[in-house]
């Protein structure tokens, strides 16, 4: 497998990038949705708030659908690691496999407890049920930590001994906790909370804009928006810290992010701009600011990509730079949005209802997804041409098998369908909640959840619930 | 060079997981096959509904077994994994395609509103249930007959299109249908559905006979295509093969006598499948890829193997109680006094709507906000301390 040269890795890279780019959006829900739901349930139980409980129960059904699609796309990824990159897995599977094994445990747990949580709604006392959701929150975060640690290892390989190109010893702990792990995992978990929070909040913001200003919509907006809003400032800070770490750990990647071709001091910070033949067009430069960001002084020397031979420089510097700028720009935009609402709440204890706030809020989820995707483009394209940084080339790792162009086409088509499913199913569900009868909602079937046949008692005979004060407005779904 | 005990132990774990996937994933895929064969929308409504009710709660967790197989393979036996993934690119891609299509069909068929969409989703789901086991079977057939080279230069089409491999593919499909029908007999009986019990007992018998015939055919083909494997199957693995045949026959007898006892029937059918899987593993020992890559050469370093051991232990420790709880809840039909969705809707709607937004109580929230701010500042400082100055590392 190693000796076949001149395989074109572009179809394989495109396939890997598109399946990961798809999976990661669902993964965000796997990591953070449970926390949003449990916040709603907590409010519901604590204050006897029926609206919050209803939101939690409906959200849990949406979560089940998304987790199911995430599991399918994740299974495909496991195949792809081998189908597309046998040269990586054959050589380094013994090292990079460990974090993936840990991931397996956590996603197993997550799948089981999503089932427990869905079954538990009317089979467990309220607080016991709330606690049964806790393992989903914890294993979501730990699972993300494990799988991102695998990616970090590709950026900062550590914990193995090579002799004659074969791994002879492995230290699983150093593999898992490599130099990049703390940065990447913290940034990714925060990103997951932002993506999930802003996307859900955006749905309810759209409802508020259409005049559905009842308590159901306000609460459905406020809970996820608050969680995402807390993550936003932390994320910007974390990003700043990571950028400095990258300047030190992967200087050539950093050079591509910031258009630094020659190693000098007083390096300007480019905002936007297209790099063609040594010139930056259409960009604005802040003099010496890049040096200041990296070392807090204009005299800081920043390493340029000309420090390595052309074959070791990442391709598509314009893509890398613009993706980075987009991520940073959106990061500040979302931070401003969260700060505005935070300010308003501080002084007025109300949600902002002006379209000037609601329209950007409705779009905030899409923006967060764009930021996350472009962040991954920076990380992954910036690592090129290495699959394992400074150790293994992508072109050596790619499969020599023919047929990747075919699988690429099929994957693109299938993921288009999966996208329709993951957006369409929750939409159909919400329409049914708005228009259907309560009995229909009670017997709705979702993956992981109880089927109507097993649900037992007839939904037509509601047991006497506890007193439910405090709610107002209609429970119309968006 | 003989393989290390750690390598043998991890290989044993691998085969336990493969057997688990064959049983649980197999029953799941088999359900899809019976769904496909259930006939027109009207005629097939009842069996389809039963299949749906019994696989819905579990279908997804079964993926985890497959993922675990892949991860164990690439971590503990990376060379074999890379060779299999390269040489058998085509059938493996097709089996993955089946998994995605199943997922799509499954997620959508309950929510699709129009009958036509629902039918399309159902058909996708059912067809995919056929594709996945067939191509997985050809993969196993190709490996067992020793047609996967250690360093393939690309796809090896001949490996999985040999007579033995194709027969193994059909064998997998039949075995899935068989194990699933046996479980469905019990599901139907548990629900007191006598007609469906008969329906699936008939199908389980037929599938059992077909599986037996295909197994015999594959076995005969192996004698010429893989003499070493055949020799060991009739040698050291013979007891396991015999157990499988005996168990398979016993299931047929039980079905014929209409002795539908849950535990004996389930266990015997499971033994029939698991024994063959282990028989294959034992017959292939000590090779990962017969006869070009041995366990001794193809295993990861000891530390990795030990780590996989720990991971497996951890998985058992964490996952078993979770499964216990889920099973307990699934069996529990009494609902607690918690509000139904309908109650919640009523309660949320019946309250008189207050005009505008209720302003929250200011004082405690102010305190809360301040606390939150203080906590945020502390968190920021903590992060700064942990991550400060990368250049010092
Ligand atoms: C909601 C999403 C989001 C937001 C608002 C930000 N990021 Fe980000 N960023 C990600 C989501 C993300 C990510 C997708 O999660 C990445 C990809 C790999 C990773 O670990 O995180 C990432 C990677 C990433 C990297 C490259 C890490 C590497 O190559 O290993 C840097 C330097 C930054 N980010 C910097 C920032 C800065 C300075 C931001 C704000 C001002 C920022 N990010 C906001
Ligand atoms: C944490 C888990 C991840 C792992 C283990 C991982 C692994 C890989 C591997 C093995 C490749 C192919 C080799 C290469 O081109 O360098 C790759 C490429 C790529 N990945 Fe990731 N990845 C991860 C996360 C992501 C995510 C979430 C995205 C989201 C968009 C992403 C986007 C890409 C892209 C765009 C490429 C192609 C890069 C190029 O061809 O220039 N990756 N990744
Ligand atoms: C090469 C990269 C990756 C591989 C091989 C991979 C593999 C998988 C697999 C096999 C599953 C299904 C597990 C199950 O059946 O329950 C899964 C689900 C999941 N993956 Fe990935 N994954 C990758 C990248 C990522 C990344 C980058 C993240 C996020 C940081 C992530 C987060 C998740 C989550 C949260 C789930 C649970 C399902 C859900 O909640 O949607 N994965 N992944």
Query: Cα separation of A144 and A195, whole Å?
Result: 14
Contact B48, B35 (CB under 8 A): yes
Q: What are phi and psi of A338, to 5 degrees?
A: -65, -40
Q: What is the pLDDT of residue A473?
A: 36
Q: Which tokens is B379 given?
A: 């968190």
Regarding the beta carbon of A317 and ligand 2, being less than 6 Å apart is answered: no
Q: Which residues of B touch A167 (CB under 8 A)?
A: 300-301
CB contact under 8 A, B300 and A170: yes
Q: What is the pLDDT of residue A40?
A: 93
CB contact under 8 A, A244 and B307: no
Q: Is B339 on the interface with A (CB under 8 A)?
A: yes
Q: Of A417-421, B275-279, B338-342, which has the strongest mean pLDDT? A: B275-279
Question: Which of residues 88 through 127 in chain B touch A, CB cutoff 8 A?
Answer: 89-90, 92-93, 96-97, 99-104, 106-108, 110-113
Ligand 1 mean position, distance from CA A375 (Å):
5
Q: Is B317 on the interface with A (CB under 8 A)?
A: no
CB contact under 8 A, A109 and B67: no
Ligand 3 mean position, distance from CA B255 (Å):
42
CB contact under 8 A, A93 and B300: yes
Q: Which tokens is A416 given?
A: 């288009």
CB contact under 8 A, B107 and A421: yes
Q: Of B28-37, B90-99, B366-375, which has the strongest mean pLDDT? A: B90-99
Which of A89, A231, A388, A434 has the highest number of chain B CBs within 10 A, making it the mutation to test binding with B? A89
Give the nearest partner residue to A121 out of B53, B101, B338, using CB atoms.
Answer: B338
For B235, the 3-state DSSP assignment is coil
Query: Cα separation of B77 and B94, whole Å?
Result: 23
C-alpha angle B57/B60/B62, rounded to 5°? 105
Regarding the beta carbon of A377 and ligand 2, being less than 6 Å apart is answered: yes
Q: Which tokens is A6 given?
A: 């001149």
Q: What are phi and psi of A286, to 5 degrees?
A: -100, 115
SS (H, E, C) chain A: CCCCCCCCCHHHHHHHHHHHHHHHHHHHHHHHHHHHHHHHHHHHHHHCCHHHHHHHHHHHHHHHHHHHHHHHHHHHHHHHHHHHCHHHHHHHHHHHHHHHHHHHHHHHHHHHHHHHHHHHCCCCCHHHHHHHHHHHHHHHHHHHHHHHHHHHHHHCCCCEEEECCEEEEECHHHHHCCCCHHHHHHHHHHHHHHHHHHHHHHHHHHHHHCCCCCHHHHHHHHHHHHHHHHHHHHHHHHHHHHHHHHHHHCHHHHHHHHCCCCCECCCCEEEEEEEECCEEEEEEEECCHHHHHHHCCCCCCECCHHHCCHHHCCCCHHHHHHHHHHHHHHHHHHHHHHHHHHHHHHHHCCCCCCHHHHHHHHHHHHHHHHHHHHHHHHHHHHHCCEEECCCEEHHHHCCCCCCHHHHHHHHHHHHHHHHHHHHHHHHHHHHHHHHCCHHHHHCCCCCCCCCHHHCCCCCCCCCCCCCCCCCCCCCCCC
Q: In angstroms, what separates the C-alpha of A338 from chain B's closest C-alpha?
A: 14
Query: Cα separation of A378 and A24, whole Å?
Result: 15
Inter-helix orientation angle A404-435/A50-84, to 10°: 170
**pLDDT one digit per residue (tens) for chain A, 478 residues:** 444 445 788 888 899 999 999 999 999 999 999 999 999 999 988 888 888 888 998 899 888 888 888 888 888 899 999 899 998 998 898 899 999 999 988 988 888 888 888 878 877 888 888 998 999 999 999 999 999 999 999 999 988 888 887 888 888 898 999 999 999 999 999 999 999 999 999 999 998 988 888 888 899 999 999 999 999 999 999 999 999 999 889 989 998 898 888 888 788 888 888 888 778 878 777 877 788 888 888 788 888 887 888 888 888 888 999 999 999 999 999 999 999 999 888 888 888 888 899 999 999 999 999 999 999 999 999 998 899 998 888 888 888 888 888 888 888 888 888 888 778 878 877 877 777 666 666 666 666 666 554 433 333 333 333 333 333 333 343 4
Helix (H) or strand (E) holding B288: strand B287-289
DSSP designation for B389 = -
Residue A234 CB: number of other CB atoms within 10 A?
A: 19
How many helices and strands in chain B, by DSSP H and E?
Answer: 17, 2
Residues 6+ apart with CB under 8 A from A189: A31, A141, A144, A145
Nearest ligand to the C-alpha of residue A63? 3
Considering chain B, what is the average pLDDT of its residues?
81
Q: What are phi and psi of B353, to 5 degrees?
A: -75, 125
Instruction: Measure CA of the first residue to CA of the last residue in chain A; give whole Å.
Output: 53
Q: How many CB pairs under 8 A join A and B?
A: 376
Q: Which residues of A touch B71 (CB under 8 A)?
A: 78, 97, 100-101, 104
Contact B77, B288 (CB under 8 A): yes
CB contact under 8 A, B345 and A475: yes
Q: In angstroms, what separates the C-alpha of B231 from chain A's closest C-alpha?
A: 30
Nearest ligand to the C-alpha of residue A180? 1
* Cα–Cα separations (whole angstroms), residue A235 to A221, A445, B278: 21, 37, 50
Regarding the beta carbon of A23 and ligand 3, being less than 6 Å apart is answered: yes
DSSP designation for B292 = T
Query: Cα separation of B265 and A204, whole Å?
Result: 52
Residue located nearest, by CA, to atom 1 of ligand 2? A148
Query: Cα separation of A224 and A230, whole Å?
Result: 10
Instruction: Measure CA of the first residue to CA of the last residue in chain B; give whole Å.
Output: 43
For B19, the 3-state DSSP assignment is helix
Q: What is the pLDDT of residue B391?
A: 43
Contact A255, A207 (CB under 8 A): no
Q: Which tokens is A108 given?
A: 């197993």
What phi-psi label fits residue A251: left (phi over 0), alpha (psi between -120 and 50 degrees) or beta?
alpha
Length of chain A in terms of residues written: 478
**Which residues in B239-262 are b (16+ Cβ under 10 Å) and which e?**
ebbebbbebbebbbebbeeeebee
Sign of the dihedral defined by the CA atoms of residues A258, A259, A265, A271, in that order: negative
Regarding the beta carbon of A231 and ligand 1, being less than 6 Å apart is answered: no
Beta bridge partners of A166: A163
Q: What is the pLDDT of residue B58?
A: 59
Q: Which tokens is A211 given?
A: 């005049």
Query: Cα separation of B116 and B96, whole Å?
Result: 26
Residue located nearest, by CA, to atom 38 of ligand 2? A381
DSSP string, B159-223: HHSSHHHHHHHHHHHHHHHHHHHHHHHHHHHHTT-HHHHHHHHHHHHHHHHHHHHHHHHHHHHHH
Ligand 2 mean position, distance from CA B18 (Å):
29
Give the nearest partner residue to A448 out of B60, B152, B357, using CB atoms.
Answer: B60
CA-nearest of A121, A184, A174, A127 to A151 is A184
CA-nearest of A478, A278, A288, A245 to A379 is A245
Nearest ligand to the C-alpha of residue A22? 2
Q: What is the pLDDT of residue A464?
A: 35
Regarding the beta carbon of A378 and ligand 1, being less than 6 Å apart is answered: yes
Q: In angstroms, what separates the C-alpha of B288 from chain A's closest C-alpha?
A: 14
Question: Which of residues 247 through 266 in chain B touch A, CB cutoff 8 A?
Answer: none
Residue located nearest, by CA, to atom 42 of ligand 2? A20
Q: Which residue matches tokens 């895929």?
A: B29
Q: Which residues of A touch B358 (CB under 8 A)?
A: 472
Q: What is the pLDDT of residue A100?
A: 93
Residues 6+ apart with CB under 8 A from A364: A198, A201, A202, A205, A228, A334, A337
């Amino acid at each position: 497998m190693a000796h076949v040269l001149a395989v074109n890795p572009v179809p394989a890279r495109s396939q890997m990038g598109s399946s990961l780019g798809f999976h990661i959006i669902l993964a965000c829900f796997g990591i953070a949705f449970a926390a949003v739901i449990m916040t709603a349930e907590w409010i519901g139980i604590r204050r006897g708030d029926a609206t919050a409980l209803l939101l939690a129960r409906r959200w849990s059904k949406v979560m089940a659908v998304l987790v199911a699609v995430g599991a399918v796309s994740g299974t495909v990824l496991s195949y792809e690691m081998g189908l597309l990159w046998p040269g990586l897995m054959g050589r380094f599977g013994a090292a990079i496999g460990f974090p993936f094994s840990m991931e397996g445990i956590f996603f197993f747990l997550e799948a089981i407890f999503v089932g427990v949580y869905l079954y538990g709604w009317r089979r467990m006392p309220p607080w016991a049920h709330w606690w049964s959701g806790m393992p989903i929150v914890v294993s979501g975060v730990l699972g993300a930590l494990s799988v991102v640690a695998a990616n970090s290892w590709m950026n900062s390989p550590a914990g193995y001994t090579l002799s004659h190109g074969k791994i002879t010893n492995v230290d699983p702990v150093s593999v898992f906790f490599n130099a990049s792990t703390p940065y990447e995992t913290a940034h990714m978990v925060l990103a997951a909370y932002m993506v999930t929070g802003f996307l859900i909040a955006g749905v309810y913001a759209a409802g508020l804009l259409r005049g559905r200003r009842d308590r159901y919509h306000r609460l459905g907006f406020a809970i996820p928006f608050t969680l995402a809003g807390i993550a936003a400032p932390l994320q910007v800070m974390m990003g700043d810290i990571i950028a400095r770490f990258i300047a030190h750990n992967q200087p050539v990647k950093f050079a591509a992010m910031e258009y630094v071709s020659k190693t000098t001091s007083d390096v300007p910070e480019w905002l936007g701009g297209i790099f063609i033949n040594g010139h930056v067009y259409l960009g604005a430069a802040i003099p010496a600011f890049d040096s200041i960001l990296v070392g807090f002084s204009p005299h800081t020397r920043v390493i340029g990509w000309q420090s390595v031979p052309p074959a070791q420089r990442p391709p598509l510097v314009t893509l890398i730079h613009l993706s980075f700028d987009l991520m940073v720009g959106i990061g500040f935009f979302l931070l401003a949005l969260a700060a505005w609402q935070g300010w308003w709440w501080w002084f007025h204890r109300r949600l902002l209802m002006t379209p000037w706030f609601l329209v950007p809020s409705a779009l905030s989820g899409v923006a967060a997804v764009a930021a996350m995707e472009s962040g991954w483009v920076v990380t992954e394209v910036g690592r090129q041409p290495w699959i394992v940084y400074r150790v293994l080339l992508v072109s050596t790792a790619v499969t020599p098998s023919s047929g990747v162009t075919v699988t690429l086409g099929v994957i693109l088509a299938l993921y288009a369908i999966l996208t329709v499913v993951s957006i369409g199913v929750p939409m159909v569900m919400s329409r049914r909640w708005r228009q259907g009868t309560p009995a229909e909602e009670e017997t709705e079937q979702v993956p992981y959840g109880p089927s109507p046949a097993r649900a037992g008692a007839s939904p037509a005979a509601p047991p006497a619930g506890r007193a439910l004060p405090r709610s107002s407005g209609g429970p119309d779904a968006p | 060079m003989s393989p290390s005990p750690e390598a043998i132990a991890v290989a044993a774990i691998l085969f336990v997981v493969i057997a688990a996937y064959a049983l649980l994933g197999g029953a799941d895929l088999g359900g899809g096959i019976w769904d496909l064969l259930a006939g027109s929308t009207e005629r097939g409504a009842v069996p389809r509904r039963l299949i749906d009710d019994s696989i819905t709660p579990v279908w997804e967790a079964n993926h985890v077994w497959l993922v675990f197989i892949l991860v164990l393979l690439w971590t503990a036996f990376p060379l074999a994994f890379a060779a299999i993934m390269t040489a058998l690119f085509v059938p493996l891609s097709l089996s993955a395609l089946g998994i995605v299509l199943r997922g799509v069909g499954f997620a959508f068929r309950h929510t699709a509103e129009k009958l036509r969409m629902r039918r399309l989703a159902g058909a996708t789901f059912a067809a995919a249930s056929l594709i996945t086991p067939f191509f997985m079977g050809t993969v196993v057939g190709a490996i067992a007959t020793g047609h996967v080279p250690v360093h393939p230069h690309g796809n090896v089409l001949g490996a999985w299109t040999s007579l033995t491999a194709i027969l193994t593919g059909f064998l997998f499909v039949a075995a899935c249908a068989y194990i699933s029908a046996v479980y469905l007999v019990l599901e139907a009986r548990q629900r007191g559905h006598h007609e469906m019990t008969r329906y699936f007992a008939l199908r389980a018998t037929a599938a059992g006979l077909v599986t037996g015939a295909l197994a015999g055919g594959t076995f005969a083909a192996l004698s010429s295509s893989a003499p070493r494997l055949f020799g060991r199957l009739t040698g050291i693995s013979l007891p396991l093969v015999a157990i499988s045949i005996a168990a398979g026959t016993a299931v047929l007898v039980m079905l014929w006598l209409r002795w539908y006892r849950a535990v004996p029937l389930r266990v015997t059918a499971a033994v029939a499948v698991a024994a063959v899987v282990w028989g294959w593993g034992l017959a292939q020992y000590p090779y990962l890829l017969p006869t070009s890559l041995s366990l001794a050469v193809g295993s990861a370093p000891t530390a990795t193997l030990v780590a996989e051991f720990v991971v497996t232990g951890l998985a058992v420790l964490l996952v078993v109680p979770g499964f216990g709880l889920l099973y307990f809840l699934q069996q529990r039909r009494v609902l607690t006094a918690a509000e139904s969705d309908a109650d919640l809707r009523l309660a949320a709607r019946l309250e008189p709507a207050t005009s505008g937004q209720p302003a929250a109580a200011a004082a405690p929230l102010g305190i809360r906000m301040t606390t939150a701010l203080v906590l945020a500042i502390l968190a920021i400082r903590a992060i700064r301390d942990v991550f400060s100055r990368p250049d010092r590392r």
